[in-house]
Amino acid sequence: MKKTFSTLTILFLAFISFAQQPKTKVIFVIADGISADALEKIETPHLDELAAIGGYSRAYVGGKKGGYSETPTISAVGYNSLLTGTWVNKHNVFGNGIKDPNYNYWTIFRFAKAQKPELKTAIYSTWLDNRTKLIGEGLEQTNHVKVDIAYDGYELDTVQFPHDKERLFIHHIDELVIEKAVESIKKDAPDLSWVYLEYTDDIGHKFGDSEQFDNAIRIVDNQIGKLKEAMDYRAAKFQENWEIYITTDHGRDEKTGKHHGGQSDRERSTWIVTNAQKLNSYFEKETPGIVDIMPAMMRSLKLNPGKDQAYEIDGVSITGPLSVAGADATYEEGKIDLRWKSFQKNEQLKIYVSTTNNFTKGNKDTYELMKTVRSGDGKVILDVSKMPSEIYKIVLEGKHNVTNTWIKL
Ligand SMILES: [Zn+2]
């Protein structure tokens, strides 16, 4: 009896400690168009403070250069890679016109509402299209996904924000967006928030690499400081765990810094600052991509993509345990040479191949288990000579995560 009692006590205490685990709230910030070299040469005390808690890494955008997933280093294209964890060959947003997004690749906002409708979502943004077109709020194709809290669209208000040549009005809108975000974080404490700031890119286009651009980065750092204060306020008062990921959507051209869109190293070169704990060796030692932030946020919010969806997500989490990343494949005469980076040497990896791409139209693909290999091998040859196709979607499945790479002939 005594034993039973103590077991019950332990169970009760376990329950209490579980119940008291602070809830994780996630914010991601896109500060537009700041290449890694530009950021690194400016003093940014607020970003540094967050990086000291979590970490800083150089990162990249642009998909696989010269490959099937090469992705223009253009703003909305980059935002959608972050939102969906996929490159442009999947999400289909090729420019800022956002003509025909493929909503079959869900944004994190859609995952949140589909799996945990109780999660409160928010957007604080200097560009309305982020909510109405990329997230696709209220559209039939997104199953009418809702963003609970929105402070955006100010750029359409030319009375309060007359459009000036110096683009100062964008700075003023960024400031208002931050003010609203700070108020709302303190009051509403959304579980998932997106803060979007535009001024840096506008100044980059106007002045290129310049004192003005450097100054715009300092302004962003100050704005991040305000967000941090709001997070700290909630954390102290309500015992919540606030996680923030700050990044940019593309770098700038090598010559003047006025342009972007191409595949030069500097245009592809970005960065991630986060206060997240449990950053893994993929974040610490490799160069993560913009697509790797969404899987980390999914983990923090305890959202799990369905199997078919997980097979399509191009990013891998930068937090927590990881099995495999960096898959790459080449094809020659019926054989696929597949390579990857292993993070758990002796784990088994299952390699699947599909020769269809029905997912892109919202339908199912059939995957065939080709091989089970030791992860530490880092490479394998797959014989697909009896599966002639113009596309091979290859999935590597480990204990902690899956990743994929394609062959398009
Ligand atoms: Zn941009």
What is residue 2's predicted lDDT score, i.e. its pLDDT? 46
Give the distance (Å) from ligand 1 centre to CA of residue 178: 18
Q: How far is the CA of 97 from the centre of ligand 1 (A)?
A: 13
Residue 13 domain flag: no
- Going from the Cα of 347 to the center of ligand 1, the distance in angstroms, rounded, reads 40
CA of 205 relative to ligand 1 center, distance in Å: 10
What would the mean pLDDT of 354-368 be, rounded to a whole number?
Answer: 98
What b/e readout covers 280-304, taking b as 16+ CB neighbours within 10 angstroms? bebbeebbbbbbbbbbbbbbbbebe
d(CA 94, CA 72): 7
Q: Are residues 276 and 401 in the same domain?
A: no
Amino acid identity for residue 107 in this structure: T
CA 22–ligand 1 middle distance (angstroms):
34
Domain that holds residue 396: 324-408
Mean pLDDT of 112-132: 98
- Ligand 1 centroid distance, CA of 204 (Å): 10
CA 126–ligand 1 middle distance (angstroms): 12
What's the pLDDT at 21? 72
> Does a structural domain hold residue 226?
yes
Whether residue 363 lies inside any domain: the answer is yes
Q: How far is the CA of 146 from the centre of ligand 1 (A)?
A: 25
Task: Report the number of distinct structural domains present in the chain.
Answer: 2
Residue 1 domain-assigned?
no
79 and 219 in one domain?
yes
pLDDT tens across 160-204, in order? 999 999 999 999 999 999 999 999 999 999 999 999 999 999 999
Residue 3's pLDDT is: 46
Residues 370 and 273 in one domain: no
**Residue 219: inside a domain:** yes
> What separation in Å is there between the alpha carbon of 76 and the centre of ligand 1?
7
| CATH number of the domain encompassing residue 226 | 3.40.720.10
Q: What is the pLDDT of residues 34-92, one digit of tens each?
A: 999 999 999 999 999 999 999 999 999 999 999 999 999 999 999 999 999 999 999 99
Same domain, 271 and 396: no
Q: What is the CATH number of the domain that holds 395?
A: 2.60.40.10
CA of 36 to the centre of ligand 1 (A): 14
Q: CA geometry: angle at 282 spanning 279 and 284, to 5°?
A: 60
pLDDT averaged over every residue in the chain: 95
Please indicate, yes or no, whether residues 190 and 329 belong to a single structural domain of this protein: no
Q: Is residue 316 part of a domain?
A: no
What's the 290 CA to ligand 1 centre distance in angstroms?
A: 13
CA distances (Å), 89 to each of 38, 164, 288, 408, in order? 29, 36, 19, 11
Ramachandran class of 153: left when φ > 0, alpha when ψ lies in -120 to 50, beta otherwise: left
Query: Taking the model in full, what pTM does it have?
Result: 0.95
User: End-to-end CA distance of the chain, in Å?
Assistant: 69
**36 and 92 belong to one structural domain:** yes
For ligand 1, the distance from its centroid to the CA atom of residue 159, given in whole angstroms, is: 25
CA distance 63 to 140: 29
Query: Does 246 share its domain with 345?
Result: no
SS3 label, residue 318: coil
Please check whether residues 78 and 182 belong to one and the same domain.
yes
- The sheet that has 379-383: what strands, in order across it? 324-332, 335-342, 379-383
DSSP assignments along 123-157, one per residue: EEES-THIIIIII-TT-GGGTT---SEEE--GGG-
pLDDT exceeds cutoff 70 at 8: no
207 & 338 share domain: no
Residues 246 and 284 in one domain: yes
Do 305 and 334 belong to one domain? no
| Whether 390 and 302 share a structural domain | no
